[in-house]
Amino acid sequence: MLIGVPKEIKVHEYRVGLTPDAVRELSHHGHRVLVQAGAGAGIGASDADYKEAGAGIAPDAASVFAQADMIVKVKEPQAAECRMLRPGQLLFTYLHLAPDPEQAKLLMASGCTAIAYETVTDAQGGLPLLAPMSEVAGRMAVQVGAVALQKASGGRGVLLGGVPGVPAGDVVVIGGGTVGTHAARMAVGLGARVTILDKSLPRLRQLDELFDGRVTTQYSTLHALDAAVTQADLVVGAVLVPGAAAPKLVKRAQLGRMRPGSVVVDVAIDQGGCFETSRATTHEDPTYVVDGVVHYCVANMPGAVARTSTYALNNATLPFTLALANKGWKQACAEDRHLCAGLNVHAGRITYAAVAQALNLPYTAAAEALLDQPTALLVA
């Protein structure tokens, strides 16, 4: 199979779909890889590094999309990239379709088959291709939140760890999954006072044991959420409904009762955000203020630490990329229900229930999509 790796074009996105190490593995299995010139610059990988690993170098994205059987990316395809996809072509990347009807329509119109990293599952019910970026984003959330709390950044002027004689900052983490756990780990490491809210008592017990009493775990009710958020210096939104739009858990009225200069970091912004006042920002202009509260809502947070993120992501995605290349998407998905859970779009149809529901579009079960491959449906 010919696998194409275009350069990412989302604002300040420096990651790349395949590392040279991953290219070497694919080449070893008899596949050809075509990488756009300069695609790896953001992680310190030169075109020469890719050539040495066995890749060909294409002058532009159009050449990659025109020739490749499978496109491997990191971020969701932008409009120009969607229009370069074609019927029968396979796209393997993050999609986050639930809050993005325009991308969904363009992918449907292209006739491609799109498998989303974020909905591939594992035997434990986890999301193995989302986990590495959730780990990065969770750790970054506290890092960027701490900077946003500085007075020069518009914050309250609070040092999260405090100093002797001055209390540490209060960090509230909404959601005890991968993002929340890693955010809490960083906040505890800085010496902050940390509260984690979640609706799963088993998960709260796990977190209590994991942190050995260094965090406060609290069952998430409306009252508990309100009390915690309004007293926090930093709130990290770390909720996830796989494939679906994030619930708006924190309302504007609650934010309005936070102290001026407090900070919210909405890691769920890729799925629409969990704060009512959230809107996606970029690394170029990452924050804005609503009712005196600083909002950090960058939709590709791990892109800022591109080298770490790309290698962590490739460690997780490479086995699936190999399976798709070795077997073709139909056989690979038929043999692996966890990979099949990643199928979001096929030949003009939405094949992931939560996405179809969020966008009010017809739903075709992935199992049905495996049975045929009709021509693309045109979407107005």
Which residues have a catalytic role annotated? 96, 270
- How do strand 349-350 and strand 343-346 relate by DSSP bridges? antiparallel
What would the two tokens of residue 279 be?
Answer: 């809107």
Q: Compute φ and ψ for 156, nearest 5 degrees.
A: -75, -15
Nearest partner of 15 among 55, 74, 82, judged by Cα: 74
Asked if 377 and 350 touch (Cβ cutoff 8 Å), the reply is no
Whole-angstrom Cα distance, residue 353 to residue 161?
43
Nearest partner of 302 among 322, 316, 321, judged by Cα: 316
Asked if 137 and 303 touch (Cβ cutoff 8 Å), the reply is no
What would the two tokens of residue 360 be?
Answer: 């009010």
Residue 343 bridge partners (DSSP): 115
Which amino acid, 162?
G
